[in-house]
Homo-oligomer: A and B are copies of this chain.
Amino acid sequence: MTDFRSDNTCGIHPAVMDAIQKANTGTDSSYGADGYSVELKKRLSDLFEKEVSIWLTNTGTAANSLALSSLVKPFQSVICHQNSHINTDECAAPEFFTSGARLYAVKGENGKMDLSQLQHYLNHTKDLRPHTSIPVCISVTQATECGTVYSLNELQKIAEFAKKNALSIHMDGARFANALTTLQCTPAEMTWKSGVDVLSLGGTKNGAMMAEVIVFFNQNLTTDFDFRHKRAGQLMSKMRFMACQWLALLENNLWINNALQANNRAKKLADIFQKYQFTLPWPVESNAVFVSLPKNIADALIADNIQFYDWHSDISPLYRFVTSCFTTEADLQSLEKSLDRMVISYDGLH
Chain A residues with a Cβ under 8 A of chain B: 1, 3, 5-6, 8-12, 17, 20-21, 23-31, 57-59, 61-63, 65-66, 73-77, 88-93, 95-97, 99-103, 120, 124, 127-134, 204-205, 209-210, 224, 226-238, 241, 312, 314, 326
The secondary structure that dominates the A interface is: loop
Given A27-B3, A101-B92, decide whether A75 and B8 contact each other with a Cβ distance below 8 A. no
- Distance A102 CA – B65 CA, assembled complex (angstroms): 15
Given A95-B100, A131-B91, decide whether A233 and B65 contact each other with a Cβ distance below 8 A. yes
Q: Return 5 A-B CB contacts under 8 Å, by A number.
A: A1-B26, A12-B24, A20-B209, A27-B326, A90-B233
Q: Check if B12 sits within 8 Å of A28, measured CB to CB.
A: no
Top-5 shortest CB links A-B: A62-B233, A8-B237, A99-B99, A95-B100, A130-B226
- Distance A131 CA – B85 CA, assembled complex (angstroms): 10
What chain B residues lie within 8 Å of A58 (beta carbons)?
58, 210, 233-234, 236
Q: Check if B74 sits within 8 Å of A8, measured CB to CB.
A: no
Given A96-B231, A232-B96, decide whether A128 and B9 contact each other with a Cβ distance below 8 A. no
Question: Which of A57, A91, A130 has the largest number of chain B CB atoms within 10 A?
Answer: A91
Q: Check if B65 sits within 8 Å of A92, measured CB to CB.
A: no
Closest residue of B by beta carbon distance from A105: B105
Given A24-B11, A102-B92, A241-B210, decide whether A233 and B231 contact each other with a Cβ distance below 8 A. no
**How many whole Å from A332's CB to the nearest CB in chain B?**
15
Q: Check if B93 sits within 8 Å of A231, measured CB to CB.
A: yes
Q: Check if B127 sits within 8 Å of A312, measured CB to CB.
A: yes
**How many whole Å from A302's CB to the nearest CB in chain B?**
15
- Distance A227 CA – B62 CA, assembled complex (angstroms): 14
Closest residue of B by beta carbon distance from A4: B27
Question: Which of A12, A21, A58 has the largest number of chain B CB atoms within 10 A?
Answer: A58
Closest residue of B by beta carbon distance from A237: B8
Q: Check if B27 sits within 8 Å of A9, measured CB to CB.
A: yes
Partner of A312 from the list B17, B124, B228 (CB cut-off 8 Å) is B124
- Distance A18 CA – B307 CA, assembled complex (angstroms): 28
Given A88-B132, A92-B75, decide whether A25 and B11 contact each other with a Cβ distance below 8 A. yes
